[in-house]
């Protein structure tokens, strides 16, 4: 195949990119009001350039009542005033591009905010109106229509709340998430047209890609059958009609060289890969890797399955250790159960931060050595742990809708620490930020870590800078003792990760490029440590 030409490499940037997820509300506060914003991101672009990332994925920054952290969009063409203005977003996209950093925006096609003009019009227009056809309005069951139209469960784990809300006029409307997030009717042509216009709106503004929220949930069986009746295909997960939607999205993206990354949580690798066929989405998040426990055999299996499912469709894999919905890696790996599962999240689960950090460092080198694109979630590069937010301060609907049994996701959304000696660890706020920072937050601050050669930040910077050494080649497993993962890539660079209790001898190499921790006195790799070697 030979080396790709520079032009092709540039066009295919997303196949091997390092993409940094910015949760705007908690990244940096530019105006001091307690909430992160675009002004804050703009001042921190040099930091992101120094980290060496290729692109930024911004969680929704549009006008929103923030009932689900912005995943309740009232207007896709306006930036929420808490975050800034459209002109500022345009500047941010351009300034980032000047630093060689591309922008990915987040589109939430399954639902809108109940404050979206379409939903307000539907409420005003009343039962049977064409305005209501853009959503899923139904009469209820029971003698007086007092029962919800079907038995579908909430898509927020732990929630026992219904997915239907009844209006005073007797109609019920469907919302797989909160009542403030009514589901759109994707069988309606106006819904399709509007989303293609939204894609163009953002591609015209220079964004390079779009993350698609809840990408496998949009299409619904028009009969909305009960799940208890075991309807096949599933009435709202992974329906075949969706592929036609994404094929037409792809045609729009191709006009701009734009790329997609889908949030596709599906247990079946074959069904997952269908979204990645050459005329559909470019990439999708790899949740099997994110959910995998810290166990060599299980990780190897997750890696092999991932590569095998992507190969036939020619799509690159993505490697993700955490995001704004899941437990922070350092905490998860420091627990007895190191897998991630929404169903088992609980308050007060003990975690060993030293052990978790050691493993998270090794996991960083593992994921950055794999072929494909890597996603980093803000604060991962600082080794931030999951915070326990006092119950009275939690804002996440996942907590509120589980009636307080699920801790929710705010613990991974705490405002970042930038400077140890400043108020609120330099987040930029003049008053208490929207979520409280734990007392030890200054310890993780960027200014401290960048002076420390052994910090998590220094490790990430070095790893991102060295990652191109692995080239574009495929992965080949090398013989290794039980509990050790060892592989090479085409350019003769090796990655070895030891998860076993006994130190592991390193394969023959000319140079140690990077280690997640020191080797022992005999030059062996200790437990929960990773090394990059030149063969
Ligand atoms: C997935 C998003 O990542 C999550 O934060 C959100 O709550 C749901 N989709 C609903 O939009």
- Which of the residues are catalytic? 213, 255
- DSSP β-bridge partners for residue 211: 106, 261
Q: What are phi and psi of 325, to 5 degrees?
A: -110, -10
- With a 6 A CB cut-off, is 399 part of the ligand 1 pocket? no
Nearest partner of 253 among 226, 273, 281, 213, judged by Cα: 281
pLDDT digit string (tens) for 427-485? 999 999 999 999 999 999 999 999 999 999 999 999 999 999 999 899 999 999 999 99
- With a 6 A CB cut-off, is 108 part of the ligand 1 pocket? yes
Q: How far is the CA of 376 from the centre of ligand 1 (A)?
A: 17
Q: How far is the CA of 290 from the centre of ligand 1 (A)?
A: 16
End-to-end alpha-carbon separation of the chain, Å?
Answer: 22
- With a 6 A CB cut-off, is 325 part of the ligand 1 pocket? yes
pLDDT digit string (tens) for 82-112? 999 999 999 999 999 999 999 999 999 999 9
Whether pTM exceeds 0.95? yes
Q: How many CA atoms lie within 13 A of 431 on its CB side?
A: 5
- With a 6 A CB cut-off, is 71 part of the ligand 1 pocket? yes
Q: What is the pLDDT of residue 157?
A: 72
* Atom 3 in ligand 1: residue holding the nearest Cα: 325
Q: How far is the CA of 213 from the centre of ligand 1 (A)?
A: 7
- Residue 375 CA, chain-centre distance (Å), reads 8
Nearest partner of 449 among 374, 375, 361, 383, judged by Cα: 383
Q: Determine whether domain 117-174 maps to CATH 3.90.400.
A: yes
Q: What is the pLDDT of residue 8?
A: 67
**DSSP conformation letters of 134-150:** GB-EE--BSTTS-B-S-
d(CA 385, CA 381): 11
Q: How far is the CA of 466 from the centre of ligand 1 (A)?
A: 33
Q: What is the pLDDT of residue 156?
A: 85
- Can you tell me which atom of ligand 1 is nearest the CA of 398? 7
C-alpha dihedral sign at 239, 240, 245, 251: positive
**DSSP conformation letters of 58-106:** EPP-EE---TTTT-S-SEEEEE-TTT--HHHHHHHHHHHHHTT-EEEEE
* Atom 11 in ligand 1: residue holding the nearest Cα: 71
CATH topology of domain 474-534: Immunoglobulin-like (2.60.40)
Q: What is the pLDDT of residue 135?
A: 98
**Would you say 105 and 172 are in contact if contact means Cβ atoms under 8 Å apart?**
no
CATH dotted code for 6-110+189-464: 3.20.20.80
Residues of the chain with pLDDT under 50: 1-2
- Can you tell me which atom of ligand 1 is nearest the CA of 71? 11
Domain boundaries, the chain: 6-110+189-464, 117-174, 474-534
């Amino acid at each position: 195949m030979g080396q790709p030409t520079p032009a092709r490499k540039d066009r295919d940037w997303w196949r091997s990119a390092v993409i940094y997820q910015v949760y705007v509300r908690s990244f940096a506060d530019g105006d001091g009001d307690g909430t992160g914003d675009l002004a804050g991101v703009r001042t921190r672009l040099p930091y992101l350039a120094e980290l060496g990332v290729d692109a930024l994925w911004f969680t929704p920054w549009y006008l929103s009542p923030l009932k689900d952290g912005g995943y309740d969009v009232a207007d896709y063409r306006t930036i929420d005033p808490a975050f800034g203005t459209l002109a500022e977003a345009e500047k941010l996209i351009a300034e980032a591009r000047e630093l060689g950093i591309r922008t990915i925006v987040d589109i939430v096609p399954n639902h809108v905010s109940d404050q979206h003009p379409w939903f307000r019009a539907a409420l005003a227009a009343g039962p049977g109106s064409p305005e209501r056809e853009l959503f899923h309005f139904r009469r209820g069951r029971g003698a007086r229509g007092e029962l919800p139209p079907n038995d579908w469960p909430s898509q927020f784990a732990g929630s026992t709340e219904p997915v239907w809300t009844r209006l005073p006029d007797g109609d019920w409307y469907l919302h797989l998430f909160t009542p403030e997030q009514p589901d759109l009717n994707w069988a309606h042509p106006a819904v399709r047209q509007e989303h293609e216009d939204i894609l163009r709106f953002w591609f015209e503004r220079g964004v390079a890609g779009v993350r698609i929220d809840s990408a496998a949930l949009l299409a619904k069986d028009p009969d909305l059958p009960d799940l208890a009746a075991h309807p096949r295909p599933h009435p709202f997960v992974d329906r075949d009609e969706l592929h036609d939607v994404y094929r037409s999205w792809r045609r729009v993206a191709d006009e701009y060289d734009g790329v997609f990354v889908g949030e596709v949580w599906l247990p079946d690798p074959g069904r997952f890969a269908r979204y990645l066929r050459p005329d559909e989405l470019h990439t999708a998040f790899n949740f099997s890797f994110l959910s995998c426990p810290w166990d060599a055999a299980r990780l190897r299996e997750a890696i092999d399955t991932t590569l095998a499912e992507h190969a036939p469709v020619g799509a690159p894999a993505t490697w993700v250790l955490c995001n704004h919905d899941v437990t922070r890696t350092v905490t998860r790996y420091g627990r007895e159960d190191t897998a991630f599962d929404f169903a088992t999240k609980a308050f007060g689960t003990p975690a060993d931060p030293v052990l978790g950090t050691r493993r998270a460092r090794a996991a960083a080198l593992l994921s950055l050595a794999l072929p494909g694109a890597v996603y980093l979630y803000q604060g991962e590069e600082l080794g931030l742990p999951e915070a326990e937010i006092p119950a009275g301060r939690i804002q996440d609907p996942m907590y509120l809708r589980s009636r307080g049994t699920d801790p929710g996701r705010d613990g991974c959304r705490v405002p970042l620490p930038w400077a140890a000696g400043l108020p609120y660890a330099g987040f930029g706020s003049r008053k208490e930020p929207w979520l409280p920072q734990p007392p030890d937050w200054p310890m993780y601050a960027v200014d401290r870590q960048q002076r420390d050669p052994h910090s998590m930040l220094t490790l990430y910077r070095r790893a991102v800078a060295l990652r191109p050494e692995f080239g574009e080649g495929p992965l080949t497993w090398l013989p290794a003792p039980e509990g050790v993962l060892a592989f090479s890539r085409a350019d003769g660079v090796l990655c070895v990760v030891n998860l076993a209790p006994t130190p592991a001898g390193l394969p023959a190499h000319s140079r140690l490029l990077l280690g997640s921790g020191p080797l022992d006195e005999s030059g062996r790799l200790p437990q929960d440590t990773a090394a990059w070697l030149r063969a």
